[in-house]
């Protein structure tokens, strides 16, 4: 059976910066990766677009969607959805929660990627983390829509925030993305509204790659870091 993964992204660029390598790597292996962009990031993460004279909110949203769709195509995303739940602050209702529960039960992801538990610079991010976790728990509840197949226990990994030290985020998993780095960089360059972050996230990938090499016997140049929410269940330790 085809394996699936779910990425719950607060804003339309987050999945690119923070886990674009993981997406491309699994897509190349035949996984179907679904990306949910809960917000376009139209207020707080589109400064370049707002500098254009006569810019409107609808035009910013449309521009961000075009960018994210291009990036998703580069990375090999199977399905990208834009829920338009607002930005700064994002508005997460019970209706949207149950909508995400339906996604969980529809695709039954083998793993889930979302934001860090803390982010003092962007309150939307931890709100989405809690939202994704709440939906996962509800999708596991036998009493919720009993006619649907209940979700199992997919592992959840938290991708890197912009300021990890200030967000109490510490990676316990380092992923070698060297084979797909060119795709991630190309996807990064699709996000024209945040060009100032291109080189920053290139340096992040190099740093995580150096750390991955130091913690293995492999030559690794490019990497991504993740923090596990639940214990790993394994059959061997090596």
pLDDT the model gives residue 104: 98
pLDDT the model gives residue 29: 97
Whether 205 has a pLDDT exceeding 90, the answer reads yes
Whether 19 has a pLDDT exceeding 90, the answer reads yes
Whether 238 has a pLDDT exceeding 90, the answer reads no
Q: Provide the 3-class DSSP secondary structure of residue 114.
A: strand
What are the backbone dihedrals phi and psi of residue 129, each rounded to the nearest 5 degrees, phi first?
-60, -50
Distance in angstroms (rounded) separating the CA atoms of residues 75 and 71 = 6
Element (H, E) at 8: strand 4-9
Query: What is the number of alpha carbons within 13 Å of residue 74 lying toward its C-beta?
Result: 22
pLDDT the model gives residue 56: 95
CATH number of this structure's domain 4-228: 3.40.50.10320
**How many other CB atoms sit within 10 Å of the CB of residue 99?**
15
* Bridge partners (DSSP) listed for residue 223: 176
pLDDT grade for 211, boundaries at 50, 70 and 90:
very high
CB 166 within 8 A of CB 121: yes
- Of the chain, the end-to-end C-alpha distance in Å amounts to 26
CB 38 within 8 A of CB 10: yes
**How many other CB atoms sit within 10 Å of the CB of residue 157?**
23
Distance in angstroms (rounded) separating the CA atoms of residues 52 and 44 = 15
Span 190-194, mean pLDDT? 93
Q: Let me know how long the chain is.
A: 238
Span 157-170, mean pLDDT? 97
pLDDT the model gives residue 1: 84
pLDDT the model gives residue 48: 86
Span 192-196, mean pLDDT? 91
Instruction: List, for residues 75-134, the tens digit of each pLDDT value.
Output: 999 999 999 999 999 999 999 999 999 999 999 999 999 999 999 999 999 999 999 999
DSSP secondary structure string for all residues of 128-179: HHHHHHHHHHHHT-TTSSTTSPPP----EEEEPPSSGGGGT---SEEEE-GG
Prior bond to 230 cis, omega within 30?
A: no
The dihedral built from the CA positions of residue 20, 22, 27 and 32, taken in this order, carries a sign that is negative
- Tell me the pLDDT of the chain averaged across its residues: 96
Instruction: List, for residues 45-74, the tens digit of each pLDDT value.
Output: 888 889 999 999 999 999 999 999 999 999
CB 87 within 8 A of CB 39: yes
């Amino acid at each position: 059976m085809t394996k699936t993964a779910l990425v719950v992204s607060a804003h339309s660029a987050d999945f690119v910066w923070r886990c674009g390598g993981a997406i491309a790597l699994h897509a190349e292996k035949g996984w179907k990766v679904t990306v949910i962009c809960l917000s376009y990031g139209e207020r707080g993460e589109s400064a370049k677009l707002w500098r254009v004279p006569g810019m409107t909110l609808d035009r910013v949203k449309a521009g961000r969607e075009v960018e994210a769709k291009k990036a998703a195509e580069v990375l090999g995303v199977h399905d990208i959805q834009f829920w338009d739940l607002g930005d700064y602050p994002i508005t997460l209702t019970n209706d949207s929660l149950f909508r995400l529960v339906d996604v969980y039960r529809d695709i039954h992801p083998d793993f889930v990627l979302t934001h860090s538990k803390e982010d003092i610079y962007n309150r939307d991010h931890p709100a989405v983390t809690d939202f994704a976790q709440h939906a996962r728990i509800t999708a596991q509840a036998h009493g919720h829509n009993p006619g649907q197949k209940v979700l199992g226990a997919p592992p959840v990994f938290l991708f890197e925030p912009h300021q990890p030290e200030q967000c109490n985020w510490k990676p316990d998993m380092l992923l070698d993305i060297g084979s797909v780095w060119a795709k991630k960089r190309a996807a990064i360059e699709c996000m024209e509204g945040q060009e100032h972050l291109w080189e920053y996230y290139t340096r992040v990938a190099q740093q995580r790659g150096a750390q991955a090499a130091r913690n293995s016997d492999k030559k690794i140049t490019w990497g991504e870091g993740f923090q596990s929410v639940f214990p790993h269940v394994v059959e061997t330790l090596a």
